[in-house]
A and B are shown apart, each in its own frame.
Chain A
Amino acid sequence: MDNKKVLTISIVAVVVLVIAIISTSYATFSAQISGEKENKLTTGYVTLKCDEEVFTLNDTSPMTDEEGIALESNEAVCTLSSEMKGEMTVGYDIALDDVDAETPDDDLTENDVKVQIYKITNEQDPAQTKYLQGTSENTGTYIANLKEKSGTYDTESVENYLIDSDKITGTTQVIYKVKAWVSNNKNGVENIQTNSVTNSDDGVCSNSEYNTQAECESAGEVWGNSQKSTQTGGTFSFKLKIGATQILEDE
């Protein structure tokens, strides 16, 4: 029995040895080659900026589209420029932001304020000026009409009041202009006519110092009944906002 055991172990050992020898002889080929050529990539960059011009227009009054467009100093400008080292397509949404955020309850709302919106892609060529959101060279649109328009590329931050969605590649520039005015459909000072009572007061002197007809008339003032038409003032404000994001696949 013991001899058998020894024999078995010996045979196993020999087999192991044979296998080991065979493997070892084949394993003699083994190579490690390290390449020498350096492959490298260096990053570029994309910078976008908006050079803005803002306006403050006080004591304005309701006016027609024509007057509003002819008006000066009622224009918000964003000169959107891109500088790209490398290739990237960036999609952006430009919108009005914080619309009437400060005084939402006063008498001047997005239903009273009109805008004309356009973008200039080439200042030398006026034919390339594009009017946006249904406005034209001679007409504006109520800001309320923009409310439901959301962004295409940055749907997260541009949820409404969209002005334009576009793509930008390379180093380039687009100028956005938004002209704003109070529409003449806003109740302003209306026509007043005899007997067409808007807000009537009987027994009034043209000079408020006098309270009786005798005093009033002897001072050369006019005594009678007064009709009044009023335009209630208000403030409306907005900002311009841009949300941009890289577009990975070209449509």
Chain B
Amino acid sequence: MFEEKEKNKNRGLTFTILGIFVLLLTSAGIAIAVYTWNYTSDENRISTGDISMSLLESTDVISIENALPMSDTKGKQLGKNESFDFAVTTYASGKPGDINYSISITEDAVDEGYTKLGSENVKVYLTVLPEKRNDAYQQEIEVVAPTKVSEIIKENNTGNFTFKDEQYSKHSHTSSGSTITTKYRLRMWVDSEVDASDWKKDSDSKYQYKLKIGTAGSIKPIGVVE
């Protein structure tokens, strides 16, 4: 008697489950049958190439001792020991077009025992070096005229040079896998307007000015569409 009941229960359960499955199958069938449409487009593609930028700094840094105010004409002629060479190199695996970059100067802390000269007292001057030394008539090209540091550094002890012509801060990568280098020479001196009358030997006031070069690149956001 008890066993029979159990059997019936089981059978009932089985039928219920079966019923649910049938119901599920039916509704699934209906869902599939209605109007449907599927579409997939072709591919859209966006790619970036490998790009690198290097700043090569000469080991010969500017180290002028006993500097005194001088004219721009004299400053522009400061020799190799009183100037600092560096190079900006960009490489692109693809053809990204123009890589624009900026060159900045950052004021550095002075050595112990020195007082920092005001940035309005120091002038900087930037030229581009000829591609090859034996380019007989190719001289240094002035890209940033003698400028007071105070006019360059505005905030956070850093400021960008304003180039006379933007072509001197731009590398045009129009063929794949190209490397482009531009060499620069930086000169700095104490501006001729500075009153150096109280600069004396062994005086308490020993002045100094230190700066670093930096560069930051950006690529003009135009992709190459093929």
Contacts and interface: CB of A to CB of B under 8 A. Distances in A.
Nearest to B38: A243
Contacts of B223: 57-61, 71, 73-74
Interface string A203-245: 0101100000100001111111111111111111111111111
Interface in A178-225: 178, 180-182, 186, 188-196, 204, 206-207, 213, 218-225
Contacts of A188: 51, 218-219
B90 to A, nearest CB: 8
B46 A50 contact: no
Contacts of B87: 206, 221-222
B219 to A, nearest CB: 4
B59 to A, nearest CB: 5
B69 interface: no
Contacts of A194: 55, 57, 106, 212-214
A97 to B, nearest CB: 6
Contact of A219 (B41, B52, B133): B133
B44 A193 contact: no
A235 B45 contact: yes
Given A60-B223, A195-B212, A222 B56 contact: yes
Contacts of A196: 214
A187 to B, nearest CB: 11
Contacts of A49: 39
Nearest to A203: B59
A246 interface: yes
Interface residues of A, number: 81
Contacts of B26: none
A9 B41 CA distance: 88
B51 A61 contact: yes
A54 B44 contact: yes
Contacts of B96: 59-61
A225 B95 contact: no
Given A61-B219, A73-B223, A241-B41, A220 B130 contact: yes
A132 interface: no
9 contacts: A52-B41, A59-B49, A60-B46, A154-B38, A189-B99, A192-B216, A193-B55, A226-B56, A240-B44
Interface of A: 46, 48-50, 52, 54-63, 67-68, 70-71, 73-74, 76, 78, 88, 90, 92, 97-98, 107-108, 113, 154, 157, 178, 180-182, 186, 188-196, 204, 206-207, 213, 218-246, 248
